Chains A and B, each alone.
Chain A
């Protein structure tokens, strides 16, 4: 697990990011999420759609900004969950948590997730470029990873404008 500063909202705590592979209880986790299990106050994300940790940081920063300014977003939650959330068959999972004590988050997650915690840098191995291109509407000509990431974070940022 790795923890990052949230420079704009320091009082909100840190952003913690964990990566698990060879996960066996995705179906169970998903069920608990859908039934609003309060114990699972984390974002469980399918590692296939995460290109870079920066993408997660930008999204988390944006979410905190909207939470603190009580701005309602009219996103299609179902669609977001389907695209970015874990599915029953997910084996590589990225978990994001805003706030809380790093050690507590880490140990709690290890009891929740049946799998192997891996280095955060490793999740780029499980990325599925075609899904990313589809969800972020990236032109097929784009092959450079930096350019792709630029477009991904820009798409997240521009949502608060349009």
Chain B
């Protein structure tokens, strides 16, 4: 592990650290091997997933979705280094920030940002795979919506896969944020965005 790393999260498949990296602070995501898996399968899966995550993350960033910038991929150690984004997790925002809890205009503004970001993600056939309010952030510097954790992402052009992605988000919203049904009220905004995207 890189020097001076601080463990911030131990997940089922990866450990997340922060560490100083080439004058900046990086998020260091290290996938670890699973004892129950056959070693050949384990190595193949881990490598495949590290590569897939890096590819999806970068493809999104390159296409104008705000994501953490990809810094370095260490395939040999199943580790991805990326930008440490300063900001607030959307889940925390909706649970603790009284402005967002009470102000409908603020909520609409946020919902619109989320919609536009996810439309861009799906436009380039990336399926995020784990859309929850824990995987969305607002960047401190410019209040831009940042999509994070591409650990379960894959590429697919099937409308069904994109629909499932949105369905997962809707379920996550309804289970963690009661009374958020209104945010899923598809209004004119969607058409406005579609018009814009077809013009591009």
Chain B residues, CB < 8 A from A25:
none
A8-B2, A61-B72, A150-B69 given as contacts; is B55 within 8 A of A158 (CB)?
A: yes
A65-B72, A150-B83 given as contacts; is B22 within 8 A of A54 (CB)?
A: yes
Min CB distance, B24 to chain A, in Å? 7
* CB 8 Å contact bits of B156-200 with A (1 = contact, 0 = none): 000000000000000000000000000000000000000000000
| CB-based contact B55/A162 at 8 Å | yes
| CB-based contact B70/A61 at 8 Å | no
Q: A157-B70, A157-B81, A161-B55 are in contact. List 12 more A-B contacts (CB 8 A).
A: A8-B2, A8-B21, A61-B22, A149-B69, A151-B61, A151-B62, A154-B61, A155-B58, A157-B73, A160-B75, A161-B51, A161-B75
Contact of A158 among B19, B20, B54, B83 (CB under 8 A): B54
Q: How large is the interface on A (under 10, 10 to 19, 20 to 34, 35 or more residues)?
A: 20 to 34
| CB-based contact A62/B72 at 8 Å | yes
Contact of B3 among A7, A65, A149, A153 (CB under 8 A): A7
A57 at the interface (CB under 8 A from B): yes
| CB-based contact A57/B70 at 8 Å | no
Chain B residues, CB < 8 A from A57:
22-23
Chain A residues, CB < 8 A from B83:
150
Chain B residues, CB < 8 A from A62:
72
Contact of B61 among A53, A69, A150, A160 (CB under 8 A): A150
Chain A residues, CB < 8 A from B69:
149-150, 153-154
B96 at the interface (CB under 8 A from A): no
Interchain CA distance A125-B40 in the complex, whole Å: 51
Interchain CA distance A40-B187 in the complex, whole Å: 64
* CB 8 Å contact bits of B140-157 with A (1 = contact, 0 = none): 000000000000000000
Min CB distance, B172 to chain A, in Å? 27
Chain A residues, CB < 8 A from B70:
153-154, 157-158
Interchain CA distance A151-B73 in the complex, whole Å: 15
Q: Identify 18 residue pairs between A and B in the complex whose beta-carbon atoms are under 8 Å apart, listed by A's number.
A: A6-B22, A7-B4, A7-B19, A8-B74, A58-B22, A65-B72, A69-B76, A139-B62, A142-B64, A154-B57, A155-B58, A157-B70, A157-B72, A157-B81, A158-B55, A160-B73, A160-B75, A161-B75
Interchain CA distance A148-B58 in the complex, whole Å: 13
What 5 A-B pairs come out closest when comparing CB atoms?
Answer: A150-B69, A57-B22, A154-B70, A154-B58, A161-B51
Min CB distance, B21 to chain A, in Å? 6
Chain B residues, CB < 8 A from A69:
76
A54-B22, A58-B72, A65-B74 given as contacts; is B54 within 8 A of A157 (CB)?
A: yes
A4 at the interface (CB under 8 A from B): yes
| CB-based contact A10/B3 at 8 Å | yes
Interchain CA distance A31-B186 in the complex, whole Å: 64
| CB-based contact A7/B61 at 8 Å | no
B100 at the interface (CB under 8 A from A): no
Q: Could you tell me which residues of chain A, from 62 to 97, have a CB within 8 Å of some CB in chain B?
A: 62, 65, 69
Q: Could you tell me which residues of chain B, from 1 to 60, have a CB within 8 Å of some CB in chain A?
A: 2-4, 19-24, 50-51, 54-55, 57-58
Chain B residues, CB < 8 A from A147:
64
Interchain CA distance A121-B166 in the complex, whole Å: 44
